[in-house]
Amino acid sequence: MSPPRLQLAHITKRYPAVVANSDVSLTVQPGETHAVLGENGAGKSTLMKIIYGSVKPDEGTVSFNGQTVQIRNPQEARALGISMVFQHFSLFDTLTVAENVWLGLDKSLSLAEVTGRITAKAREYGLDIDPGRPVHTLGVGEMQRVEIIRALLSNPQLLILDEPTSVLTPQAVEKLFVVLKKLASEGCSILYISHKLHEIRELCTACTVLRGGKVTGTCDPRQESNASLSRLMIGAEPPALQYRAVQTGATVLDVKMLDLVRESPFGVDLHDVSMQVRAGEVVGIAGVSGNGQRELLFALSGEDTRAQPGMIEVAGKAVGRCGPVERRALGLHFVPEERLGRGAVPMLGLAHNLMLTRNEAFGAGGWIRLGVLERQATAIIQRFGVKTGGPHAAAKSLSGGNLQKFIVGREIDANPKLLIVSQPTWGVDVGAAAQIRGEILALRDAGCAVLVVSEELDELFEICDRLHVMAKGHLSPSVDRVDATVAQMGEWMSGLWHDDVQARLADMAETTGEAADVQA
């Protein structure tokens, strides 16, 4: 028998405020697709970074293909045949896509050859990307595509995937799974981290469960249900959302024929975007990253003030030329897709990060009331179950899912009249995702207007009352959630809604005509 592809024995990693991994042992066989399951802060990402050489363990050993190895950096990992797709991207913003990929490949290849390989691989796997585009112009979803392509180009023996499908359409996920299953059949081992339990059950043949940095169980996910996997991961099943019919009120957000030329040469022009969000409803926008969502969110949040004043109205006031502070005064709160750098200042503590969008702690003369800040931050940490060292812990010290819980909690806790949130549960475990979605629905039921932009179709179907799709800078008509299907939304993501809408209108006209004939 061939030796295990990867064997971890008694891995421990300590940080000043937390033990991220405690006596973790794990074995992955050649050709095995092995899931690592756990709630946010369970130690999954730290363990993957140890395997990839980004983090050095304090105790324990790592064996690869039967040989004990000390992987001191990612370059040594890649030389062994280990590739990783990070949840938090390891890309240089000032370099192009091709230059970033080139850094991790054989230097005997020219940049032109790497560019050609990227284009071919992107076409093969349906991961559309421009190799010549600077990374700083990409959206989060596009950055993840770069990471996936870079990993696949190295022909790895062990491929580590950390939340790889969060920005893909259902059709693209199916295509990626075909690729991963083919890689596994050819002997490539895959370590797969995802909070989408149905993906783990479909793709993976083994599963190791982490809780609080320790291994709490192993299983064959194909023999488990979503409920049983949830119990293994968080000790309970996530609460079922209580959805009810909406009673909508006045229009809070009104976008009228919004036209904007892209500011970046790699951006997307917005064409005649029109939509409304009323008090007491959740409206969702689906679509593959890079189709204008970033530009639309900039325009709605006030980061881009080039729109004509009347193109965007909040609470009846024309705000096209108003900045974020003026819009916040009207009750608009915003959760961006980038957690660190836009959603939170990495080096600042959680309490001080409240001041980015909240002003309750500002006293007379501009003095900051630190006690108020601490109490606010502590209340959000407790309400949303944020795992952290306390209200003064630096934002960058939190796991991605826990930082997301804090940022979403910060804006929901402000009791907004209009909440615009991008990717609300990206990288968040099933329990926390259910809580965030429940809080959004509670906010809606309290009369708030909510706009959600997400590439998670399941999430949009779970919490939205109406759905739009964005493709190539155009926004589709809205469709009631009860009338929408996953297949239809997937087709619309390619911009194919015009014929569908015309057919629906024709059916409606025919039905109306038949009704008129019956009445006559």
Residue that terminates a domain, selected from 366, 389, 415 = 415
pLDDT tier, 474 (very low <50, low <70, confident <90, very high otherwise)? very high
The answer to whether residue 378 sits within a structural domain is yes
The answer to whether residue 120 sits within a structural domain is yes
The answer to whether residue 486 sits within a structural domain is yes
Same domain as 129, residue 47: yes
pLDDT tier, 106 (very low <50, low <70, confident <90, very high otherwise)? confident
The answer to whether residue 1 sits within a structural domain is no
pLDDT tier, 311 (very low <50, low <70, confident <90, very high otherwise)? very high
The answer to whether residue 144 sits within a structural domain is yes
Distance from C-alpha of 318 to C-alpha of 322, rounded to nearest angstrom: 8
Same domain as 367, residue 264: no
Q: Does the pLDDT value for residue 520 go beyond 50?
A: no
Distance from C-alpha of 432 to C-alpha of 429, rounded to nearest angstrom: 5
| Per-residue pLDDT tens digits for 424-444 | 987 777 888 888 999 999 999
Distance from C-alpha of 91 to C-alpha of 100, rounded to nearest angstrom: 6
State how far Cα 383 lies from the chain centre: 22
Same domain as 411, residue 285: no
- The amino acid occupying position 469 is V
Same domain as 446, residue 307: yes
The backbone torsions φ and ψ at residue 268, rounded to the nearest 5 degrees and listed phi first, read: -130, 130
Which residue shows structure tokens 């909070």?
Answer: 195
SS (H, E, C) 74-121: HHHHHHHCEEEECCCCCCCCCCEHHHHHHHCCCCCCCHHHHHHHHHHH
Handedness of CA 300, 301, 304, 310 (dihedral sign): positive
- Encoded tokens for 504: 């629906």
Pair 386, 380: CB distance under 8 Å: yes
Look up the domain containing 456 and give its range: 241-327+416-520
The answer to whether residue 297 sits within a structural domain is yes
Distance from C-alpha of 376 to C-alpha of 257, rounded to nearest angstrom: 39
Same domain as 251, residue 397: no
The answer to whether residue 309 sits within a structural domain is yes
CATH number at 320 reads 3.40.50.300
The answer to whether residue 388 sits within a structural domain is yes
CA distances, 419 to each of 379, 396, 437 (Å)? 20, 24, 13
Who's near 472: CB < 8 A, 6+ residues apart? 268, 291, 292, 495
Same domain as 345, residue 225: no
- Which ranges in 385-429 belong to alpha helices (H)? 400-412
Residue that terminates a domain, selected from 209, 234, 259 = 234
C-alpha distance across the termini of the chain, in Å: 80
SS3 129: coil
Distance from C-alpha of 503 to C-alpha of 470, rounded to nearest angstrom: 20
Same domain as 165, residue 58: yes
Residue that terminates a domain, selected from 234, 249, 269 = 234
Same domain as 143, residue 220: yes
Same domain as 394, residue 283: no
Mean pLDDT over 6-21 rounds to 92
Same domain as 51, residue 181: yes
Same domain as 457, residue 397: no
Same domain as 316, residue 338: no
pLDDT tier, 296 (very low <50, low <70, confident <90, very high otherwise)? very high
Distance from C-alpha of 500 to C-alpha of 488, rounded to nearest angstrom: 9
Q: In 13-50, which positions are buried (b, 16+ CB within 10 angstroms) versus exposed (e)? A: beeeebbbbbebebbbbbbbbbbbbbbbbbbbbbbbbb
Q: What's the pLDDT at 518?
A: 45
pLDDT tier, 517 (very low <50, low <70, confident <90, very high otherwise)? low
Question: How many domains in the chain?
Answer: 3
Average per-residue pLDDT in the chain?
Answer: 89
Mean pLDDT over 259-282 rounds to 93
Mean pLDDT over 3-23 rounds to 92
